[in-house]
Structure 1
Amino acid sequence: MGAEASADMIGQWVGQHLWPLFRIASFMMVIPFVGAGLVPARIRLGLALLMTVLVVPMIGPVPTVDALTGDAVVITLQQIMIGVGLGFVLTALFQLFVIAGQMIAMQMGLGFASMVDPANGVNVPTLSQVYTITVTLLFLAMNGHLVAFEVFIESFRTIPIGTTGLGQNAYWDLANHISWMFVSAMLLALPAITAVLIVYIAFGVMTRAAPQLNIFALGFPIGLLFGLFAIWVLHADFLPHFDQYSRETFDFMRSLQGLP
């Protein structure tokens, strides 16, 4: 009887604490401002443990499943997929501005000015780094991290812990969300790209009118200056675009959970 009681207690403990920890830890490892390479894994795991302790009392009853059965493995994988899926939506919001910065930098001639992104460990243009820092500060200043955690914690009510996860349609929506990221980046970078394109078209006309003009010596610095001017002008509309994309991101996170 004692062994059976202890086995039941272990199964209840696994269902009540370990499965929420898998979902929360997966989410914390993916989101940009916590899951970045700058934050040590110990800190991320500590935050996930702390959040689990705070969230467990608010979670409803969980299924009592033996920890060494196939159902327990399925439930664990479902929790990981839910955390990674919701975290990917938030990551796409930040990568959107990185892609926009790469598009603008390549067109204006700043593509060679790259540096190692300490968060992701890859080389990105300096303009993308500027956008990343700006977006991160705006997101934290507008309490976007609190909204993200609120929407994520709500998933324990909309998607209870069990063998059912996000569903097949949700995974297709996540795959299609990548196209939203590229389209939004293009819309954000399109004004600057168009301005630089007009400058290069003007240089093309000048080259045809005066072939002796050294267009390679004049075109690059002037195109770079016009690109920087376009970026400065576009910064006035940076906050409205960020607000719109943030709303669309949080709405998409809620739609994955089946919420209106």
Structure 2
Amino acid sequence: MISLDFGLGGIEAEFWRWMFVMTRLGAAMLAAPIFGASSVPPQVRVIAAGALGIFLCVWFPAVQAPQDLLSVEGMVIVAGEVLIGLSMGFLLQMAFAAPVLAAEVISGTMGMSMATAVDPGSGSQSPALGQYFTVVMTLIFLALGAHLLWIRLLVESYMTFPPGGTWFGPERLEILLSFATTMFVTAVVIALPVTFVLLLTQVVTGVLSRSAPSLNLFALGLPAGVLAGLVALIASLPVLHEQLGDLSMAAISASEALVIR
């Protein structure tokens, strides 16, 4: 099968087949926001991909590793497997990025952009409000069972795109780009109610500062903006939950359109 031969016969062939099946699974879990979070140890991701790979080897006996895995043709096939996995994981990343983008806008308008924390998912700095939105998005995503639907689509992708024919056409790339538009639109919709209230607060603060110039605008405007933003966030919680639930289902629908003909 490959230039490396350990003399184990059929066991070795099944081992390389198992490793080949794990390629798409591992790439998807590496790119997905929940499975590929920096707080998740790499060993856990490898074990999860290996366990799912065992079932796939049983469910799809026709899936075989390339005859020469280390050849140029074999590397191209492996690259196609990685492309499928990364694309499915990237769709979820864009879905989870929408509330973080909304939090960036809200935090900057409230004057809380200096309150940052390390994002456990990506390891980068993000606003503290973004951490809250990420936690809510994760809980809603798991409560809806969207992670199970995503894993099912990942398994079904082996029927739609068997190894060796996994390169995307323009129509698949269009799905990725169109969902990026959905991500930005959802971020704007999430941030719109709070930013509108903050805009009104700033207008009122500006009118007061012009009416009474002796007032300290910064001492009055910052506490008023933070208080108004918190009140607006609490009032918009029911709408926020509905929006994040719709975003989760939109991500699953986009993943289905990506891998199902």
TM-score (norm 2): 0.90
Write the distance in 2 (CA, Å) between the matches of 1:9 and 1:70. Answer: 24
| Gap change, CA 1:109 and 1:137, over 3 Å in 2 | same
1:7 to partner: Cα distance: 11
Write the distance in 2 (CA, Å) between the matches of 1:258 and 1:49. Answer: 24
1:138 to partner: Cα distance: 2.0
Write the distance in 2 (CA, Å) between the matches of 1:112 and 1:41. Answer: 32
Instruction: Report the residue type matching 2:179 in the other structure.
Output: H
SS at 1:154 equivalent = helix
Q: Report the equivalent of 1:232.
A: 234
Where do 5+ consecutive residues of structure 1 fail to align?
none
1:118 to partner: Cα distance: 2.2
Per-residue CA distance 1:193-224 (angstroms, 9 max, x = gap): 11101110111222222222222211110111
Q: Report the equivalent of 1:59.
A: 60
Per-residue CA distance 1:85-120 (angstroms, 9 max, x = gap): 000101111111111111111111111111111221
Write the distance in 2 (CA, Å) between the matches of 1:38 and 1:126. Answer: 17
The root-mean-square deviation of aligned C-alpha atoms, in Å, is 2.4
Q: Report the equivalent of 1:115.
A: 117
Query: Which structure has the highest helix share of the two?
Result: 1
User: Any residues of structure 2 matched to 1:87-98 within 5 Å, and which?
Assistant: 87-98=89-100
User: Contact between 1:14 and 1:67, CA under 8 Å: does it hold in 2?
Assistant: no
User: Contact between 2:27 and 2:82, CA under 8 Å: does it hold in 1?
Assistant: yes
**Greater mean alpha carbon deviation, residues 79-88 or residues 160-169:** 160-169
**Greater mean alpha carbon deviation, residues 68-77 or residues 162-171:** 162-171
Instruction: Report the residue type matching 2:141 in the other structure.
Output: F
Q: Report the equivalent of 2:48.
A: 47
| Gap change, CA 1:203 and 1:182, over 3 Å in 2 | same
Write the distance in 1 (CA, Å) between the matches of 2:187 and 2:28. Answer: 24
Instruction: Report the residue type matching 1:170 in the other structure.
Output: R
TM-score (norm 1): 0.90
Q: Report the equivalent of 2:162.
A: 160
**Greater mean alpha carbon deviation, residues 159-168 or residues 108-117:** 159-168
User: Contact between 2:84 and 2:166, CA under 8 Å: does it hold in 1?
Assistant: no
Q: Report the equivalent of 1:36.
A: 37
SS at 1:39 equivalent = coil
SS at 1:124 equivalent = strand
| Gap change, CA 1:173 and 1:8, over 3 Å in 2 | farther
Instruction: Report the residue type matching 1:94 in the other structure.
Output: F
Write the distance in 1 (CA, Å) between the matches of 2:181 and 2:67. Answer: 39
User: Contact between 1:108 and 1:223, CA under 8 Å: does it hold in 2?
Assistant: yes
Per-residue CA distance 1:106-138 (angstroms, 9 max, x = gap): 111111111111221111111100111121122
1:162 to partner: Cα distance: 1.1
User: Contact between 1:166 and 1:257, CA under 8 Å: does it hold in 2?
Assistant: no
Aligned residues: 256
Q: Report the equivalent of 2:130.
A: 128
Q: Report the equivalent of 2:219.
A: 217
| Gap change, CA 1:176 and 1:8, over 3 Å in 2 | farther
User: Any residues of structure 2 matched to 1:71-86 within 5 Å, and which?
Assistant: 71-86=73-88
Write the distance in 1 (CA, Å) between the matches of 2:260 and 2:121. Answer: 32
1:14 to partner: Cα distance: 7.1
